[in-house]
Amino acid sequence: MFTSPVLPETFHKTQRDLEASSKPLKILSEYFSIDYMKENLPSQSAFLSIQMSEDRLFMYIAYVQISKERKFTYYVSRESLSPDSKDKISGMVTRLAATKVSMQKTPITIAEDLTALEKQSEIEI
Amino acid sequence: MEAFFKPVTDAIEPLLNPDGDEPDEAQPTTAGAPSTRGATGKKEDPKKAPAKAPPAAKGAKGQPAAEAALAQYESNLPTTSSGIENVVICVDHRFETLPIESLNVFRKSPVVARDLNLHLHMQRLATVDHKADLHNNRGINKD
């Protein structure tokens, strides 16, 4: 966002008004406290969060499950990623993306075309 | 993929499925009488679940009877052995194309969903006015 002080005040006012009225921005920037979440997350549910570090050296794992009696169980860990496993997972992501593109671009005229394409994709995966 | 996410699955397997594999899950169910596992972990027959719960017994014996009646209203979803009905996965965008839902650890989870992050999921719940103390399987307290 460009916030030069030499800009007229009306520019900043317009910007502020736009931000204040933007519902998507409000949703994206709204954070819930841990107490609120502990109180309001549904029972009998579990949440798994997997995040890679920016340098792709570590994988952060966070897991919480909430029992019917509202008992919380947590698991938090950091796993280091070996170059082999990184290459393997990158290859898998690339292969899946290529298969997706292939399935989207391959012309399908009859039902057998779709069946053959599905079989081919399964083999590739 | 299983090998890559093994640290994840190894960690959450005992939490999500503490009883491990149950042999009766693999056995084919008889036609016409499929058995399901209720939220309480007990076997339930959906055909036996009446549309209307019987009235609760009066007196001191009313509490177990009321609990039994309440069980009729509980979700018929087969839960994991830890009683979890749904799992929400918030995964890094670099893994988002992978079919993480198909990991073996989620084999018994009836509902596996994804969201971008926990705060956004909380926001969605708040939008539909979700209240954890009301939307549970314990019924509605009498006034």
List pLDDT tens digits, range A97-115.
888 888 888 777 888 888 8
Average pLDDT, chain A: 85
Contacts of A77 in chain B (CB under 8 A): 7, 11
Give the nearest partner residue to B85 out of A27, A44, A75, using CB atoms. A44
In-domain check, residue B50: no
Model pLDDT, residue B57: 44
Residue B90 and residue B113 in contact, taking contact as beta carbons nearer than 8 Å: no
In-domain check, residue B26: no
Write out the residue range of the structural domain in which residue B3 sits: 1-19+36-43+63-138
pLDDT in tens, A69-108: 889 999 999 999 888 888 888 888 888 888 888 888 877 7
CB-based contact A46 B4, cutoff 8 Å: no
The one-letter amino acid at B110: P
Across the range A37-45, mean pLDDT stands at 88
Contacts of A51 in chain B (CB under 8 A): 92
Model pLDDT, residue A49: 93
B105/B109 Cα distance (integer angstroms): 8
| Closest residue in chain B to residue A99, using alpha carbons only | B97
The pTM of the full predicted model, rounded to 2 decimals, is 0.68
Model pLDDT, residue A84: 87
B5 burial class (0-12, 13-18, 19+ CB within 10 angstroms)?
Answer: buried
Where in chain A are the domains? 1-30, 33-81, 83-125
In-domain check, residue B28: no
Q: Could you tell me the sign of the dihedral formed by the alpha carbons of B121, B134, A36, A53, in that order? A: negative
CB-based contact A46 B97, cutoff 8 Å: no
CB-based contact B98 A96, cutoff 8 Å: yes
Model pLDDT, residue B44: 43
CB-based contact B119 A73, cutoff 8 Å: no
- Interface check for A105 against chain B (CB to CB < 8 A): the answer is no
- Å from A10 to nearest chain B CA? 32
pLDDT in tens, B6-47: 888 888 888 888 876 554 444 443 333 344 444 444 444 444
Q: What is the domain count for chain B?
A: 1
DSSP string, B45-64: -GGG--SSPPPPPPGGGHHH
Contacts of B125 in chain A (CB under 8 A): 40-42
Please indicate whether residue A26 or residue A7 has the higher confidence score (pLDDT).
A26
Q: How many other CB atoms are there within 10 angstroms of residue B39's CB atom?
A: 20
- Interface check for A44 against chain B (CB to CB < 8 A): the answer is yes
B81/B14 Cα distance (integer angstroms): 10
In-domain check, residue B12: yes
For residue A118, name the pLDDT band (cuts at 50, 70, 90).
Answer: confident
A69/A72 Cα distance (integer angstroms): 9
For residue A47, name the pLDDT band (cuts at 50, 70, 90).
Answer: very high
In-domain check, residue B27: no
Least confident range of A23-37, A54-68, B23-37, B85-99 = B23-37
The ipTM estimated for the assembled molecules is: 0.73
Model pLDDT, residue A117: 81
Q: Could you tell me the sign of the dihedral formed by the alpha carbons of B110, B114, B119, B120, in that order? A: negative
Under-70 pLDDT residues of chain B: 20-77, 135-143
CB-based contact B1 A85, cutoff 8 Å: no
Contacts of A35 in chain B (CB under 8 A): none
Contacts of A56 in chain B (CB under 8 A): 94
In-domain check, residue B109: yes
| Closest residue in chain B to residue A91, using alpha carbons only | B1
In-domain check, residue B133: yes
A81/A94 Cα distance (integer angstroms): 18
Angle between helix A83-105 and helix A111-124 axes, rounded to 10 deg: 170
Model pLDDT, residue B139: 54
Residue A25 confidence (pLDDT) above 50: yes
Cα A23 from chain centroid?
A: 20
CB-based contact A40 B12, cutoff 8 Å: no
Residue B86 and residue A45 in contact, taking contact as beta carbons nearer than 8 Å: yes
A27/B126 Cα distance (integer angstroms): 11
- Å from B4 to nearest chain A CA? 6
Residue A79 and residue B5 in contact, taking contact as beta carbons nearer than 8 Å: no
CB-based contact A79 B7, cutoff 8 Å: yes
Model pLDDT, residue B25: 43
